[in-house]
Amino acid sequence: MMKTRALMSLTALLGLAGCATTPTAPPPDENAPPPAVPAQAAPPQKAALPERPESVPAKPLGQPKPLQTVVLARPDTPIVSFRLVFHTGSVDDPKGKEGLTALTAQLMAEGGTQKLSAAQLLEALYPMAAELDVFVDKEFTTFSGRVHKDFLSRFQDLFTDVLLAPRLDSAELERLRANAISDVENGLRSANDEALGKAALEALIYEGHPYAHFTGGTVQGLKAITLDDVKGHAQRVFTQDRLVVGLAGAVDDTLTQSLTSRLTALPSTGSPRVQLPAVPTTAGRTVIIQKPTLSTAVSMGFVNPIRRGDPDFFPVALAMANLGEHRQFIGVLFNELREKRGLNYGDYAYAEHFIESPGSTYNRTNIARTQQDLTLWLRPVVPANGVFATRGAVFFLNQMVTEGLSQERLDLMRGYLQGYTRLWEQTDQRRLGYAIDGLFYDTPNFLEQYREAMTKMTPQSVQDALRRHVQPGALNYAFVTEDAEGLANTLRSGEPTPITYASPKSAELLEQDKAISSSKLPLRPEAIQILPAQQFMEK
């Protein structure tokens, strides 16, 4: 560096010396060509967006050792929390028997034990104020429990018996099968447009993949399941080599050893894990679910090329939180679409698959996925404004990617998330969940990593990550609405979709509305399909 500076100084000095002793110029040559005009430097241009990969590969999740134990002892509480996480989910459902994993897990958790009927199991849990739940996702099934330490011995017997000695009664199977079918026919298809839209988007972007079908199963798949199917499946997937054992709260070595000793009665191994295929990165596809409804639900997204553990995951997660997480008033979409324009109730965006933890606004834990999806969802929207709202969400997503976050906005989001992420770990069950997820994603102390990463982010580093991984042109769309043909025609036409207001709006907002209403949605008109709701998840 010093030599370079010396050379520059010497050159400058020589130039000055030349100016000081300039000789008389010779007369101009009339035949000489005119002097060349110096070329102007081209204005700086942003780097072109990177090419999206043709597919998102299935990079395997981590594989903890059989019966690996996670213990978060806390002597200041009288409560003990249990969390048994099996690496099995709806991906293990055999073709034609979709829903088998969920139905098997429900029958084990709710159908009673060899010693107790289903009703007697509830009667035993009630006076202890104990919890015993199960949740099934694409790749993981979690049996969770919670009890006061005064009832620990009795509860441990019940909790382990649902796994080691389930009743698996035919009458209970029929009851739970009927509930599961009703969940599809009367819940998903009829009562919950938001869930239907999200399930439709999953079916679209994961078409042909084990993630594609609804975790709870299909109607015909559930009807085809027999009691022998359930018994055999339990032996194949609820095994020691797929299990992580979590304990938190009033825990000691005696409890840990006792629980793990009991669980060695599970089959040591079962069927091989499903080998997931790569997911083609399709874009611009649309499915419209037609059903009688007063509103339109909108879901959009794509298979995300990054997941936890990727260095770009944290800046993308912050950016999507900037658009808006579940019921958070700070989000751009919430303020632009709901507060300023009164379009709908909820506008949310996520860098990874989101399932709400009951009774909260937080994400569930232990729903780790080999291949993740980035999503935005809006609900409920007046049908006449459905396309405008969709255009608005894409408009503000594109604006964030192309313009980035200002320093002021980044500082605001950083401060907000530094506090909000602490709420995600406020219970023993949630702390256990994150610790167990860390084994599969190889992200120990994940939330601390997130908070530390945020301290180093700059507007440029966040925008660089967005430009690498978040391209509005990659979006696919799922709508739930009554006038499916009308919506499809509007989408195919690409014509502007202006909106009107019942109260005065600022000139600036109305001018922005013009840009939104005429913006081109990055979808393919020939790739729009309509599906009656009663056909969705039928087979």
Q: Where do we find the tokens 């632009």? A: 336
How far apart CA 74 and CA 348 sit, in angstroms, is 35
Dihedral sign computed on CA atoms, order 473, 411, 452, 249: negative
What is the distance between the alpha carbons of residues 301 and 198, in angstroms, rounded to a whole number? 10
Angstrom CA distances, 38 to 33, 41, 194, stand at 15, 9, 61
462: closest CA among 407, 511, 503?
407
Q: Nearest 5°: phi and psi at 134?
A: -140, 145
Token reading at 161: 């018996």
Task: Map 465-505 to HEC letters.
Answer: HHHHHCCHHHCEEEEEECCHHHHHHHHHHCCCCCCCCCCCC
Cβ neighbours for 478, distance < 8 A, ≥ 6 positions apart: 197, 198, 200, 201, 204, 286, 287, 288, 289, 298, 299, 300
CA distances from residue 538 to 120, 275, 339, 442 in whole angstroms, order as listed: 34, 25, 38, 37
Cβ neighbourhood burial of 241 (10 Å; 0-12, 13-18, 19+): middle
Q: Which domains does the chain have, with CATH numbers?
A: 60-263 (3.30.830.10), 281-535 (3.30.830.10)
Q: Look at the pTM and tell me if it is higher than 0.95.
A: no
Helix/strand/coil for 421: helix
Digits of tens for pLDDT over the chain (539 positions)? 333 333 333 333 323 233 333 333 344 444 444 444 343 444 444 556 667 788 999 999 999 999 999 999 999 999 999 999 999 999 999 999 999 999 999 999 999 999 999 999 999 999 999 999 999 999 999 999 999 999 999 999 999 999 999 999 999 999 999 999 999 999 999 999 999 999 999 999 999 999 999 999 999 999 999 999 999 999 999 999 999 999 999 999 999 999 999 999 999 999 999 999 999 999 999 999 999 999 999 999 999 999 999 999 999 999 999 999 988 899 999 999 999 999 999 999 999 999 999 989 999 999 999 999 999 999 999 999 999 999 999 999 999 999 999 999 999 999 999 999 999 999 999 999 999 999 999 999 999 999 999 999 999 999 999 999 999 999 999 999 999 999 999 999 999 999 999 999 999 999 999 999 999 999 999 999 999 999 999 99
Q: Which residues pair with 147 in a beta bridge?
A: 80
Spatial contact of 353 and 89, defined as CB atoms under 8 Å apart? no
- The rounded distance, in Å, linking the Cα atoms of 301 and 199 is 12
Which residues share a beta bridge with 254? none
